[in-house]
């Protein structure tokens, strides 16, 4: 029997009752008889729906009472009511839901709402909550009179940033359970604190700060000194139809072991590479925040690729900062600035003048330069979408359990990519016998492919963990499976260090999807928690300035994460540090 109640059967009214505390802890007790005996109802057994609590009761009646005690308000909350979430964050999530309602691919959101319970995500480097996870469900699932309270229909979730250290929306899904719900099932408890270390590792901690469950691979250690020489580099390689290969660069570093979770957590706070990645992420997110909040600066310096522009020629510049230095070279002559466009894009530009005045606006670099005749209202365009098939074409493979560790996300991503080409009949020899299509879930044939790729890419077990790692400069060797199965192949990839992603990596993947072929991508803001998966959808919209020029492009990849989930997830494309453009075909 389902009973929706806070206190049923008996309510004590104590006029002189008071608790001298800013916050109180409420514990519910239940009894089959009015006078007891009483037993505590674990909070894990209660679900919050529209302000009430749902409890499973075996008998037809029950009595409840509350115990009230002072609570340490410094303990961060496990969950919040929707109206307790900061208004700005709630508004960002609501607008994201609203602007995707009429997108055909996301029809499940047409009548969906933000559900009444929100779960904060924490980051050890951020005071308070860093993100809010909004569960999305069907609108107004009210109970029928006298009937049970219906469960919320899973329509995915939206993960929104509380502060401007990350992008306003970092990921979302239009179907399936939330990450918190998955972690709660793994931990066997609803009383968990979710710690987000990027896209590749979500940790669930108990009240003592101990790791009780996680999603993703447990991180390996990459010393800062080994990574720093590669911060500004991007590598590109290919394997053509004739088998000719150019590898995408081969640095010399491998993952080491963290003895325990607390050691990883301390390194996360101390690592200069992590700190650099956080700052790079903040700078990359600036324009998207300004566009989403409606505060984007319309003061602009508009340069042209390959040409030099002189600006502020009557003013003496004391200093300037530009968020993305890859777009242009900027020099400071005696007066003003000289700006030479290098590549198309936009970024924040701040200039301080000796007079005390400042310029705080946008540096825009375009192919054709400014057109003073183009003016109008600034704002977002509609969404542009491209897909390589749909979710039904994706193969839902997972890593293979080895002796005491998993086989790795790199080989899994390769098997899912091969499975797509096999299932679509484009290269039916890639998984199993040629007369059968690639299966939806794991089989010995899938495992054979995965283990072959694991060996070919030199994927290795990180000692002392359950993790296996595939270095990005060896991912291209996964194409050897296609040669082994005598399939035609054309493959190229690009990679940079996580935390300092380069546009070329994202473009590899988007070009593949524009060609109606899925891509393997690398996600995550630093290497310790990086993750390979398959992207099969690409969505973007532009923020147009008053001059008719694109000031910012918001980009998303729709991903098959390869972790056993039965629904896809949209990931912010700004974080992609590895991408492929691959094609495989049957040779007659």
**Size of the chain, expressed as the number of residues it contains:** 588
pLDDT given for residue 211 in this prediction? 96
Place of tokens 């803001």: 525
The predicted structure's pLDDT at residue 12:
35
Report the distance separating Cα 66 and Cα 156, nearest Å: 33
64-95: pLDDT as tens digits: 888 776 555 457 889 999 999 999 999 999 99
Exposure b/e, 413-426, CB count within 10 A at least 16 = b: bbbbbbbbbbbbeb
pLDDT of 161 reads 98
Q: State the pLDDT confidence band at 346, using cuts at 50, 70 and 90.
A: confident
220 pLDDT band, cuts 50/70/90, is confident
- Rounded to 5°, the CA angle 47-53-56 comes to 70
Distance between CA 311 and CA 331 in Å, rounded?
11
Give the pLDDT confidence score for residue 32 in this predicted structure. 80
Sheet containing 345-353: give its strands across. 300-304, 358-366, 345-353, 317-322
pLDDT for 56: 65
In the three-class reduction of DSSP (H, G, I as helix; E, B as strand; rest coil), residue 431 is classed as coil
pLDDT score recorded for residue 297: 57
Ranges of CATH 2.60.40.1380 domains, the chain:
300-377
Number of CB atoms found within 10 A of residue 264's CB: 22
Please tell me the least confidently modeled range out of 376-380, 407-411, 575-579: 376-380
- Compute the average pLDDT of residues 138-155: 59
Q: Give the DSSP letter string of 60-107.
A: S--EEEEEEEE--TTSPPS-EEGGGS-HHHHHHHHHHHHHTTT-GGGG
394: three-class secondary structure by DSSP? coil
Confidence of residue 26 (pLDDT cuts 50, 70, 90): confident
What is the band of 21 on the pLDDT scale with cuts at 50, 70, 90? very low
d(CA 365, CA 160): 29
Banded model confidence at residue 315, pLDDT cuts 50, 70, 90: confident
Please state which of the ranges 68-72, 134-138, 182-186, 385-389 shows the lowest mean pLDDT: 68-72
Q: Residue range 398-408: average pLDDT?
A: 93
Predicted model pTM: 0.78
> What crossing angle do the helices spanning 272-293 and 87-99 adopt, rounded to 10°?
70
Contact 482, 245 (CB under 8 A): no
Cβ within 8 Å of residue 462, ≥6 positions away = 220, 255, 256, 257, 405, 468, 469
Q: Decide if pLDDT at 464 tops 90.
A: no
Banded model confidence at residue 1, pLDDT cuts 50, 70, 90: very low
pLDDT tens for residues 539-565? 999 888 665 667 788 999 999 999 877
pLDDT digits (tens, 9 = 90+) for 56-72: 666 567 888 887 765 55
Residue-level pLDDT at 374: 45
Structural class in CATH, domain 226-255+385-585? alpha beta
Q: Residue 45: its pLDDT value, please?
A: 62
Q: Confidence class of residue 494 from pLDDT cuts 50, 70 and 90?
A: very high
Whether residue 580 contacts residue 508, with contact meaning beta carbons closer than 8 Å, is answered with yes
Higher per-residue confidence, 258 vs 4: 258
Give me the mean pLDDT over the 258-283 stretch: 91
**Does residue 569 sit in helix, strand or coil?**
strand
Mean pLDDT of 148-170: 84
| Alpha carbon distance 201, 214 (integer Å) | 7
What's the confidence (pLDDT) of residue 151?
53
Average pLDDT score over the chain: 84
Identify the pLDDT of residue 62.
Answer: 81
Per residue in 41-52, pLDDT (tens digit) is 776 566 655 456
pLDDT over threshold 60, residue 23: no
Superfamily holding 300-377: E set domains; domain 4 (2.60.40.1380)
Q: In the sheet that 24-31 helps form, which strands lie side by side, from edge to edge?
A: 39-40, 24-31, 63-70
């Amino acid at each position: 029997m389902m009973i929706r109640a806070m206190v049923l059967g008996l309510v004590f009214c104590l006029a002189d009752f008071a608790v001298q505390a800013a916050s109180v802890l409420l514990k519910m007790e239940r009894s089959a008889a009015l006078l007891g005996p009483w037993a505590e109802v674990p909070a894990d057994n209660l679900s919050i729906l529209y302000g009430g609590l749902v409890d499973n009761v075996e008998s037809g009646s029950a009595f409840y009472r509350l115990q009230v005690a002072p609570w340490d308000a410094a303990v961060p909350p496990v969950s919040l009511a929707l109206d307790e979430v900061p208004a700005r964050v709630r508004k960002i999530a609501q607008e994201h839901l609203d602007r995707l309602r009429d997108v055909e691919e996301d029809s499940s959101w047409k009548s969906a709402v933000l559900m009444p319970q929100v779960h904060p995500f924490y980051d050890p480097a951020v005071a308070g909550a860093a993100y809010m996870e909004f569960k999305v469900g069907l609108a107004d699932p009210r109970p029928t009179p006298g009937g049970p309270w219906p469960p919320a229909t899973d329509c995915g979730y939206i993960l929104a940033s509380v502060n401007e250290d990350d992008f306003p929306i970092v990921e979302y899904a239009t179907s399936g359970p939330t990450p918190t719900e998955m972690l709660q099932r793994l931990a066997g408890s609803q009383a968990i604190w979710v710690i987000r270390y990027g896209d590749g590792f979500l940790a669930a901690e108990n009240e003592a700060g101990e790791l009780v469950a996680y999603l993703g691979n447990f991180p390996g250690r990459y010393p800062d000194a080994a990574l720093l020489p590669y911060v500004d580099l991007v590598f590109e390689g290919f394997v053509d139809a004739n088998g000719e290969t150019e590898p995408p660069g081969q640095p010399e570093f491998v993952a080491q072991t963290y003895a325990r979770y607390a050691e990883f957590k301390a390194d996360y706070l101390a690592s200069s590479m992590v700190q650099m990645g956080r700052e790079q992420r903040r700078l990359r997110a600036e324009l998207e925040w300004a566009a989403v909040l409606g505060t984007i600066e319309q003061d602009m310096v508009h340069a042209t690729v390959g040409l030099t522009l002189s600006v502020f020629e009557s003013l003496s510049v004391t200093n300037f900062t530009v968020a993305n230095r890859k777009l242009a070279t900027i020099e400071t002559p005696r007066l003003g600035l000289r700006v030479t466009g290098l590549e198309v894009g936009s970024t924040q530009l701040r200039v301080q003048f000796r007079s005390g005045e400042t310029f705080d606006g946008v540096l825009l670099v375009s192919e054709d330069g400014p057109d003073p005749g183009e003016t109008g209202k600034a704002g977002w365009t509609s969404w542009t979408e491209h897909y390589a098939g749909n979710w039904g074409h994706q193969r839902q493979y997972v890593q293979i359990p080895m002796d005491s560790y998993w086989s790795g996300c790199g080989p899994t991503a390769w098997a899912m990519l091969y499975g797509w080409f096999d299932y679509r009949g484009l290269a039916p020899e890639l998984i199993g016998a040629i007369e059968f299509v690639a299966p939806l879930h794991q089989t010995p044939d899938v495992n054979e492919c995965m283990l072959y790729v694991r060996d070919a890419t030199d994927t290795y077990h990180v000692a002392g963990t359950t993790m296996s790692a595939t270095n990005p400069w060896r991912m291209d060797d996964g194409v050897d499976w296609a040669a082994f199965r005598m399939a035609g192949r054309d493959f190229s990839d690009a990679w940079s260090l996580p935390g300092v992603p380069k546009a070329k990596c994202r473009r590899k993947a988007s070009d593949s999807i524009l060609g109606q072929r899925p891509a393997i991508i690398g996600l995550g803001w630093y290497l310790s928690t990086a993750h390979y998966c398959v992207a099969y959808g690409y969505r973007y919209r532009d923020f147009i300035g008053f001059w008719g020029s694109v000031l910012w492009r918001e980009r998303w990849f729709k991903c098959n994460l390869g972790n056993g989930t039965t629904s896809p997830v949209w990931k912010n494309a700004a974080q992609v540090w590895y991408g492929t453009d691959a094609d495989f075909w049957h040779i007659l």
